[in-house]
Amino acid sequence: MLCPKCGQEYEGPQCPRCDGPVVLVNNSDYLKRKKAYEERLKNRGKEELEEDKKEEKKEFDLMEVVDGLFSEENKMSKLKRKARGLVKKLRKSKRKSTKDTKSSNKNNENNEEGPLKSVSIRKAKKFKYNIRRIAFLVAALVCLVLIIVGIYKLVTRKNYELFFSYNDKIYNVTDLESSYVCDESDAVFAVDGKTFYQAENLDIEGSIKQEMASNDGDYLAFVSYLEDGNYEIIVNTSKGTVKLATNKNSKELVALRDSGVLIYTETEELNDEGGTGSKSLNVVFFDGLEYQTINLSEDISKYYVYTAQNLVVAVDNDGNLFEYNYKTKKKTSLEGNVTNLLGMSSDNYNYYSYSADLVNEWDKANSFVYAIGYVYYLYDIKDAKSTVLTKSSDSSMEFIYDEANNYIYALNTNTVYSAKLDGDTVSSLEELDNIKTARNVVYNYSTKELYFIDGDSNLVRVKKGEEKELESNVYDGSLSLVSNDSKAICYIVDNSIYYRKSSTAAAVKIYTGDNLTTNIGMVKYKNKLYFYASSELLCTCSTKGGSLSEVGKIARFWLGTKLK
DSSP labels for 379-443?
EETTTTEEEEEEE---TT-EEEEETTTTEEEEE-SSEEEEEEEETTEEPPPEEEEEB-TT--EEE
What is the four-CA torsion angle of 7, 10, 14, 16, rounded to 10 degrees?
A: -80
For residue 159, is it left (φ>0), alpha (ψ between -120 and 50) or beta?
Answer: left
Using DSSP's 3-state secondary structure scheme, residue 457 falls into: coil
Euclidean distance between CA atoms 233 and 236, whole angstroms = 10
Euclidean distance between CA atoms 320 and 192, whole angstroms = 29
Q: Which among 347, 344, 345 is positioned nearest to 370, based on CA atoms?
A: 344
Domain layout of the chain by residue ranges? 59-156, 202-298
In this prediction, residue 65 carries a pLDDT of 42
Number of residues assigned to the chain? 564
pTM of the model: 0.71
Q: Are strands 508-512 and 207-213 parallel, antiparallel or unpaired?
A: unpaired
Phi, psi of 4 (to 5 degrees): -70, -10
Q: Which among 331, 317, 312 is positioned nearest to 279, based on CA atoms?
A: 317
What is the four-CA torsion angle of 399, 402, 408, 411, rounded to 10 degrees?
A: -30
Q: What is the DSSP letter of 561?
A: E
Q: Are 190 and 562 in contact (CB under 8 A)?
A: no
In this prediction, residue 138 carries a pLDDT of 59
Radius of gyration of the chain (CA): 37
Tens-digit pLDDT string for the chain (564 aa): 567 667 666 666 667 777 666 555 545 555 666 677 677 666 665 555 555 555 444 444 444 444 444 443 344 444 555 555 665 665 565 555 555 555 555 554 444 444 444 444 444 455 455 556 666 665 666 555 544 444 433 333 444 788 889 889 999 887 767 889 999 989 999 998 989 998 877 778 899 999 999 999 999 999 999 999 999 999 999 899 999 999 999 999 999 999 999 999 999 887 776 677 899 999 999 999 999 999 999 999 999 999 999 999 999 999 999 999 999 999 999 999 999 999 999 888 889 998 899 999 988 899 999 999 999 999 999 999 999 998 888 888 999 999 888 899 999 888 999 998 887 778 788 899 999 877 788 999 889 999 999 999 999 999 998 999 999 999 988 999 999 888 999 999 999 999 999 999 999 999 998 878 777 789 998 889 999 887 778 899 999 999 999 888 888 888 888 876
In this structure, how many other beta carbons lie within 10 angstroms of the beta carbon of residue 477?
Answer: 17
Q: Which among 259, 381, 280, 281 is positioned nearest to 327, based on CA atoms?
A: 259
